[in-house]
Structure 1
């Protein structure tokens, strides 16, 4: 379903046409007998002029394409739609709807039903029932909701949904959409407040409409991201998928849960399913690529990230990922540096930080020092990447203990304050633990890393739990506990999830162990020498027994 052309003259109607398209798409996604491509993948075909239906069909992997236009003038809405056989570029069906805004409520279900009939798709009785339900009887609330669907600004969209529910307190779809938006917003603003709002909105949506797929997805996301109750979240997503089998986000979230449950093969299938339904959505492909990387499937990850680069050729983040993969596959930091040669610097310094890390991997400390010196900001866009901390690590690698202490002393209060802001975040404890280890604060380092492991044990989170075990292995190496470090390395080297990117000295890969200076204290140990001399072991994808949460 291609983006509808919005022919409305009034700028106040901005987003209305996109909202109509999104609402129809949501209805079509409920039909099991159809494969429906998600909205993100069709945005590239926004302009109607010069559309090549055969090429679009091939690119999206579909046989039929729906296109249309929307015009809103005052209280009237005009919608024109046509269904096209993309393989033969011929019209299959067309319809024109000229209605008042109030009468257009429920049009999305009517349209989806007519399209299904035109395509000879089977509609189950429960699908017919869902498609016949009007989301609201309040036209003003419906316009606000549609406008929210067309908004890119998540905070503004959530406010519009809240306004819609104020006009119609029985508007379940608006509550569900507001909840989904708040779960996303919680990742960057007022996490506790936003998570609480998301949960309340999801529960209200389900109270009003117990079979609404979006409501189950909203509650599933609260349980997944907010509460880390993976089994409960999975049940909600399964209910959501039953009601909306073409919603790519559901399979993306399920893939993330499977990964945390140690069900890596199932995670691959779920992420791939999400990509098949939204083949040009960079977030979907990125998640699928990362999943392959965390499994040490270097070839599979490289293929997915290369697919991303075809869609966004100028993506710095994708090029950074490919640079690290080049190190993991061949162990040559110099080759990776050439991949970033023409990449411009970014505002948060991630490209600079990566160049510094690759120089550290190559043990070119003079270049690493210069890269940091030339970077004028104090941090790299987040508190866990402090410039002074990186300078301390560079000085320590060069053997300049006095300078390292000075840099670490400057970074410590910032990192401690950041960790104390959210004491239930294991990442913050792990990062603080590594800083203490670089400073030879053995007791403090072990305390923080063990706290991270307590908050995210492998038995409850096979993905992050393995990464935090890698943090502990590095801490052991830095504070002189060689045997304990090597024992962990021997296990983690074949454990999925014990690696990340960018700037992850705790990565347990053969390339990282061979190249990073942080492991130098182990190099005279025969057990470690044996690890380095052997080929990288195959990553074991067996399921870890989960502790119920």
Structure 2
């Protein structure tokens, strides 16, 4: 628990559950007393820590209900201990591709992204991250006042790019989102090789229009072109698009692998393409940390980082890439925090710095700092579902239910039909008030209207069925899980609370002691096999 404040308490909860089922009341009660005073991420369902409300409903603790110590724990239902839009704030919306060749869409996205990246270097500005602005696609008429309100900015930049042979035309206009007033507009018609100079000019003009003073280092960074090779730039822009959308669809692994391949092509064409090396390191460490814990991906992330460091050892992007490798590759939290603090000096508008700091601070039990940094990340990237979910989970771990619920509502405001968020939002009522009705209604609605989404919310369905002592619904939820482990919290503990164990709990709820004993025996045998396998790997 000292090593990892988020997941360190999970084994203790598992011990409490198993001890309750095996009649070891003293051990279970001691564990529960510790757990109820500890913020952490639980091993079941959405990762909720145990609460008095959950204990009142959870059938795994039924053997303890006559124990006065348990009754005391259940009764002690205590929780642990509107913004103004800044004038110097802007969202760079996706630019329109006016070229006849649709393949130039990646080039257009790259132009927009470079302008956004340049502006985000300026400490005096609040600049919305690309993850949030990319959702406002071109084509349909935009309501700029509404967009400004949704993103929390006073200004928006719109534009278009047209590439014909070796010429490029870039149009940009700055608009006050509060009044719809056009503050500045310019069309640049130049040689294709001048496109990076155009991007730098636009960024400096926007800073001047918003009265944001540039430091010498900010001005120098903005004027530095990312590459001199347009084809390498296209490959890099395509890879960034794939990376940004990889975790939102069903082809995440394939998209990340393709992104890595495109970035390798980019740095082959231009071995001095610093930003491509940084993006390659980020892509490889995500593959290693999230998808495939194969050492070769960590080695490739390290190789890309070393290439970036040789080019610009003191750049904020280099320190950010090193922090990511420390965090995902080596679990070196202190090292990652040191690198992030250095990166923040030259990348004040980089939302990833704040979100990654928040994740590390959460693991270290620095809850106040974690909340502060995750909130800052959501200010810079207000439509990033992952960051908002992590903020909500943090409030859940602290048992701050009102903030947890309102954070899920922020997601539902722009993703109203997302089944996972809807079930998590409803789960707050079960978690805090032992009220299963909202969650059951959401599950019934998803079963009726969107059955394909059931596997993504069946953990909550299973917990709801347990809470209502409904063995038939619990069996249906377990079937809907398919081959997935039956306890998919933020990090699965399905190897411990395996499927036979859950079948045993269902049998207990159904008062079928013979079937329960058989299932628990099978669960123990599976765990013994797992332990022997682990011993062989040591």
Q: Fold match, TM over 0.5?
A: yes
CA contact (8 A) 1:345 1:351 kept: no
The aligned residue for residue 62 of structure 2 is none
The aligned residue for residue 66 of structure 1 is 157
Q: How does 1:83-482 map to 2 (within 5 A)?
A: 83-151=174-242, 152=245, 153-186=255-288, 187-343=290-446, 344-346=450-452, 349-373=455-479, 375=480, 377-379=482-484, 385=494, 387-404=499-516, 406-407=518-519
For residues 222 and 365 of structure 1, the distance between their equivalents in structure 2, rounded to whole angstroms, comes to: 45
Label 1:159 to 1:420 Cα distance change in 2 as closer, same or farther (>3 A): farther
Label 1:387 to 1:99 Cα distance change in 2 as closer, same or farther (>3 A): farther
Q: CA deviation at 1:185?
A: 1.9
For residues 362 and 481 of structure 2, the distance between their equivalents in structure 1, rounded to whole angstroms, comes to: 38
For residues 531 and 348 of structure 2, the distance between their equivalents in structure 1, rounded to whole angstroms, comes to: 40
For residues 233 and 529 of structure 2, the distance between their equivalents in structure 1, rounded to whole angstroms, comes to: 45
CA contact (8 A) 2:427 2:438 kept: no
Q: CA deviation at 1:392?
A: 3.0
Label 1:6 to 1:421 Cα distance change in 2 as closer, same or farther (>3 A): farther
Describe the SS at the equivalent of 1:62.
coil
Q: Which runs of 5+ in 1 are unaligned?
A: 426-450, 452-549
Label 1:45 to 1:376 Cα distance change in 2 as closer, same or farther (>3 A): closer
Q: CA deviation at 1:73?
A: 2.8
Per-residue CA deviation, residues 497-542 of structure 1 (Å, 9 max, x unaligned), is: xxxxxxxxxxxxxxxxxxxxxxxxxxxxxxxxxxxxxxxxxxxxxx
CA contact (8 A) 2:422 2:442 kept: yes
Q: CA deviation at 1:335?
A: 4.1
Describe the SS at the equivalent of 2:445.
coil
Query: Which one is further off, 82-91 or 186-195?
Result: 186-195
Between the two proteins, the alignment pairs up a number of residues equal to 425
For residues 237 and 368 of structure 1, the distance between their equivalents in structure 2, rounded to whole angstroms, comes to: 45
The aligned residue for residue 34 of structure 1 is 125
For residues 238 and 404 of structure 2, the distance between their equivalents in structure 1, rounded to whole angstroms, comes to: 37
The aligned residue for residue 82 of structure 1 is 173
For residues 533 and 200 of structure 2, the distance between their equivalents in structure 1, rounded to whole angstroms, comes to: 46
CA contact (8 A) 1:172 1:209 kept: yes
CA contact (8 A) 1:106 1:135 kept: no
Q: CA deviation at 1:290?
A: 1.2
CA contact (8 A) 1:68 1:79 kept: yes
Describe the SS at the equivalent of 1:249.
helix
Label 1:216 to 1:99 Cα distance change in 2 as closer, same or farther (>3 A): farther
Q: CA deviation at 1:389?
A: 4.2
Q: CA deviation at 1:329?
A: 1.4
Describe the SS at the equivalent of 2:186.
strand
Query: Which one is further off, 101-110 or 284-293?
Result: 101-110
CA contact (8 A) 2:110 2:233 kept: no
Per-residue CA deviation, residues 4-54 of structure 1 (Å, 9 max, x unaligned), is: 111222233342211221122111100011110111222332135422222
Q: CA deviation at 1:370?
A: 4.3
CA contact (8 A) 2:95 2:138 kept: no
CA contact (8 A) 1:202 1:216 kept: no
Alignment TM-score, normalising by the size of structure 1: 0.71
CA contact (8 A) 1:17 1:150 kept: no
Label 1:113 to 1:376 Cα distance change in 2 as closer, same or farther (>3 A): closer
Describe the SS at the equivalent of 2:184.
strand
Per-residue CA deviation, residues 350-396 of structure 1 (Å, 9 max, x unaligned), is: 323321221112222243234435x3833359785454443233124
